[in-house]
Structure 1
Amino acid sequence: MNKNIQTILDLISKSEKLTEEEKEQLSRSAKGIERDLSIVEFKLDRSEKMRRTTSILLEETIEELDKKRQAVEELALISSRQASLERIRAEIASMRKAEDLEEISPLIWQELSKLQVPYIRCGIFIVEEENDLMHVFLNTQNQQSIAALHIPFEATKLTQTVHFYWKKQNRHLEKWSENDFRNWVESLSKKGFISSQEEYVGGSIPEQLILQFFPFKQGMLYIGNSEPLTTENEELCQTLAGNFSVAYDRYEDFTKLEIAKKNVEIALKDLRTTQDQLVQQEKLASLGQLTAGIAHEIKNPLNFVNNFSDLSIEMVTEVLEEVSEAKVYSSSPQLKERFEEMTDLLHTIEINLKKIHEHGTRANDIVTSMLQHSRGGSGETKEVDLNELLAEFSNLAYHGMRAGKDPINLDLNLDLAPNLPMVSLIKEDFSRVIINLCTNAFDALRVQAQKQISDYKPSLTIRTRSEDKAVYLEIEDNGPGIPEEILDKILQPFFTTKKGTEGTGLGLSITNDIIKAHGGTLAVETKPRKTVFQIKLNI
């Protein structure tokens, strides 16, 4: 019973002022109240239990719903990340050329943003072990390129550290203050790796920058942020680094394939050119044999012309002597007049015969030179008058050009130093040098002449001089000049600017080899309207 009601009942029973009947009535009323209170207490207790039970069930339901929500969000995140990775893999699989890598890198940064991986700066560090170089490609969070740097490993502390952890294939984390970042930027600027500090910073300098590096086969993926990444985001970045590694592998494969393809194309082109040149060489060899045969056949009748003209001159001289004696013993004026006419006629015949002998001898010298040139000569070194050799073979080259295809008119100037010392040469070989250089000059002059410049007159000047125990030979033309980009190639075997089989590309190469074999040097000076080939031969 309730204590308060019990107290009331005790007071009623002890009261002297109340009758027994009143006490009985009050007692029944108190007990009724106590019964009603018990019912109310029971109901309240049951309500409290129900409330507690409902509260527990509600809390459990909310907790379960929250767990389900988290599970759904985690599943959605996993699905989103998986979709991002699949997009990257699909782009990698679609790579068909090296340039496609330029589309993969921005895609990785876009996917990082979509997956809500926080970063301020990001980049790729590619390690080139062969040359001790680190190729750094940096971007902002807006996928804007900051810089492309090519830094030696030992040039900065950061590249040393990145290289160290890359070799171990370990992740790396560094914390930079604002001053650390400023010092890094200033060092890059001082060492000439960046031209503008403002462009490199790309905005405000962070108070704190956490640099995190994730290794892959060819380098490190770099993420820079004000706070460290969560473990989950770190794993995602490592996965992205692996995906980039696959893309870079394909890039290197395509690059090697493209290089190999170009090399094959160059080799095929060189092979075809060599085949054409060999055919041309065969033609030239056949032409040389034909020239030698023709020259030999011409030499025989020339010998008859020269010998009989020489003999005829002797006979004319004897006749003149006889006529002169006859004039002394003749007393007839008419007969003396006839002897005078005969003398004049014989002198004319003598002059004509001497001209025939002179030009026949010259023709014989030309044919002899052609035979020596086609046969290659004896290979013996002899003391040679260089001026005489130049005059002979420059003239031979000139007449060859005039008799060949597309002849041109030009001034051939010989500025030969008098009293030039004799030079020890293989005459047959060095004659090729003169002919090759003159022929090249004629070709250059023909190209310039075809431009039809009004005041242009083709000119070839050949000079000699002696200086410092050496003889110098210069062959100068006023052609178009040699382009700078091919100047260092013109002495290479098989290099030619002529189309098809017009040139073998061996002329200047052979010329240079012959000059070297004589202990000399060949130098070239060129500019528009002036090219000089200078040969130096030690005495």
Structure 2
Amino acid sequence: MAHSAGYGDLFYLAPMAYGMARGLSRFLDLPQRLPRWHRALNYIWVPAAVLIVISLAFSFKSPILGDVYWLLVLFALLGVLLALRHYRPARTLLFATAPFVVYKVLEIIIEDSNGKIPKSFDAFLDTTQGFVIIWLITFIFIARSQKKQLEKERVLREEEEKAKRLIEAQNVELERLVAERTAALTHQAQELSGALVELRTTQAQLVQSEKMASLGELTAGIAHEIQNPLNFVNNFADVSAELITELEEEQLKPDRDLELEAELLADLKQNLLKISQHGGRAASIVRGMLEHSRTSSGERTPTDINQLADEYLRLAYHGLRAKDKTFNATLKPDFDPALPPVEAIAQDLGRVLLNLLSNAFYAVRQRQMRGGEAGYAPTVGISTRRVGDKVEIRVRDNGQGIPEAVRAKIFQPFFTTKPTGEGTGLGLSLSYDIVTQGHGGTLSVTSQEGSFTEFLISLPINQAG
């Protein structure tokens, strides 16, 4: 059993202690966490130099000098670990170092005046030394793993905070643009209202058509202005995804931590792609909301359902034809000539019919574009019938049909079967509310996948009664 460090060992203990101090300082980031301790550890070799000078000056040679210095170093390192006990890797190192310090103290106590260990303690100290060394090495690796994990969490938090700040900045800018545009549109709406009042006295029908056209232009202006900041969010997400690809190429360099960077980059790329997807979704919802933003007087008046249905059948058909000149479909109106007027809000009910008919034309067009069906003729029909004290309006198409699993959710807000960018899932939800809450009626759907879809509107004839 070798004896503890003696006087001659001071010459190599000092550099060893300095190296340990520097390594601990780097591992625990002492320049940032404990700058005073960092500066003090830079002079940990000074006590050894002082002891050497004293021993040379007074010709004092004793093994206890090395032991004293070694204990001083160990307790200094323990002091650093205690000062950083709130930091998990420091606590682990403290737990790892404590048995080693106890062992060294015990060794110094057991050794004789010549710095040698009695042979009777050799076996015990050899076993203890092996244990504390294994213990120390094990927990050093654990502390290293903990530091990597904490660093990974820190980087992830920084990235999340950065993304959060960017989103908040875009939200502030979006709110500012919306406020500015709203003020401008309010002024324009006031001017249009004055013009419409003058026209209403001589040309009531022309005033109504002009009002709808003007409001349509305003709606398009609102959508255009809101779309710009939303496009910025989407573009930022796409650019960020490209930057991630470049960073993935950068991680191939030999001096990078490939495992850590690959995991972080994969998470960030996924988050940015979600920003892009939801940005596109938000833009689509805004468009859908604006399409349904027209207000009505809210007053029920006797309404010719046959005339209303025929008007919106033509409007929906020609609206789709305006987008696709090549599209043609067979129209099948079937109206009950004895149908009495129905107490209804004509504008709101027209919105419902326009939505159902537009969906019907969309369905038959999709089936036609899919191809592969010889002799297929796109057909949309609308019929009216009186059933007791109610009026039934049926909108039927021979499109692709609606799967059974989808029909249960068809009237839920924001649920749509259309591809991203083509539907918001607001139309049927608003239509359902207008029919059921606004008119006290019912709206239901029947469908056979690959064959047809039929929506049934049932309205009481006399709302007041």
- What's the TM-score, normalizing by structure 1? 0.33
When Rg is computed on C-alpha atoms for both structures, the one with the higher figure is 1
* Higher strand fraction (1 or 2): 1
* Higher helix fraction (1 or 2): 2
Higher relative contact order (CA 8 A, sep 6+): 2
- What's the TM-score, normalizing by structure 2? 0.38
